[in-house]
């Protein structure tokens, strides 16, 4: 069962292949829900790559560098899901790809890598909701997110070597980073597809949602749990891990009002009320 988002929606936009909604986050900011809605099981085509770039360009993301001018519409987490329960993204649109010249293929891959890199480099946590197939470029898209939640129907893999190519949107690097070289090469060289249970066992997905429960609802709950932490602390935690600079990240959160609020709330035995401001008044 899929939750109805319309009643909670702060904002919504749509292109021909991508939809977007946002809902309020705990404390401040918003949780974004970006829904893939392209033909052929969200096959990666010129149109969906272009629409993903366009949609991401309209969104505002929380950072630790400046307090947002409109906190209520600034995203603190982003969920990526599909409107097709049979597929998160089935990979490349091969019917379109076969019509490309070599130059067109190179240009398309550059744009595809660019949008996957944009998702990977967002300053906020991202969550992929994987129902059905996440194959080839679809798996690479999921690998670019911070967390991956899967339904029992999920099927993940990088089958490109079966077509005489290799993953082309950063999948080789991200899979190695996530699973280690040996396990990554096992999946890439064999092209085998993993069901949800095995994907969770090896760490390709973070958790599998129980049968009969909504994977999107589960992802929203995870996003809310993340957002119960301080806004600056959340983005600085990601930055500390990515840049391997925990001292620098800690120094940036140490000087924030949220750090003072956390200590005061603990002392007073009350709930936290984080603002996300980066400077004391």
What residues act catalytically?
A: 92, 137, 140, 160
Strand partners, 151: none
Rounded Cα distance between 153 and 223, Å, is 22
Rounded Cα distance between 145 and 121, Å, is 9
Q: Give yes or no for a contact between 120 and 144, defined as CB atoms under 8 angstroms apart.
A: yes
Q: Which among 241, 131, 153 has a CA at the least distance from the CA of 142?
A: 131
For residue 220, count other CB atoms closer than 10 A to its CB. 22
For residue 55, count other CB atoms closer than 10 A to its CB. 19
Tokens 């292949």, residue located: 17
Q: Give yes or no for a contact between 112 and 71, defined as CB atoms under 8 angstroms apart.
A: no
Rounded Cα distance between 62 and 276, Å, is 9
Distance of CA 28 to the CA centre of its chain: 20
Rounded Cα distance between 176 and 130, Å, is 20
Residue 205, both tokens: 């997905």
């Amino acid at each position: 069962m899929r939750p109805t988002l319309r009643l909670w929606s702060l904002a919504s936009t749509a292109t021909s292949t991508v939809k977007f909604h946002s809902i309020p986050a705990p404390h401040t900011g918003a949780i974004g829900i970006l829904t893939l809605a392209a033909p052929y099981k969200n096959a990666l085509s010129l149109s969906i790559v272009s629409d993903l770039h366009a949609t991401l360009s309209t969104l505002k993301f929380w950072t630790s560098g400046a307090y947002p001018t409109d906190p209520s519409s600034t995203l603190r987490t982003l969920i990526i899901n599909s409107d097709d329960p049979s597929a998160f993204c089935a990979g490349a649109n091969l019917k379109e790809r076969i019509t490309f010249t070599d130059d067109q293929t190179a240009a398309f891959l550059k744009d595809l890598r660019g949008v996957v890199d944009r998702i990977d480099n967002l300053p906020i946590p991202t969550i992929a909701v994987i129902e059905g197939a996440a194959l080839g470029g679809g798996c690479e898209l999921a690998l670019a997110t911070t967390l991956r939640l899967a339904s029992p129907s999920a099927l993940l893999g990088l089958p490109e070597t079966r077509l005489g190519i290799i993953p082309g949107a950063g999948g080789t690097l991200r899979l190695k980073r996530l699973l280690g070289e040996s396990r990554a090469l096992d999946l890439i060289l064999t092209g085998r597809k993993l069901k949800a249970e095995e994907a969770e066992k090896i760490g390709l997905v973070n958790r599998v949602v129980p049968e009969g429960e909504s994977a999107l609802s589960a992802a929203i709950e995870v996003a809310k749990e993340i957002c119960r932490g301080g806004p600056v602390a959340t983005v600085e935690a990601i930055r500390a891990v990515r840049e391997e600079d925990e001292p620098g990240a800690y120094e940036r959160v140490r000087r924030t009002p949220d750090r003072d609020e956390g200590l005061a709330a603990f002392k007073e035995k009350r709930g936290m009320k984080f603002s996300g401001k980066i400077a004391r008044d």
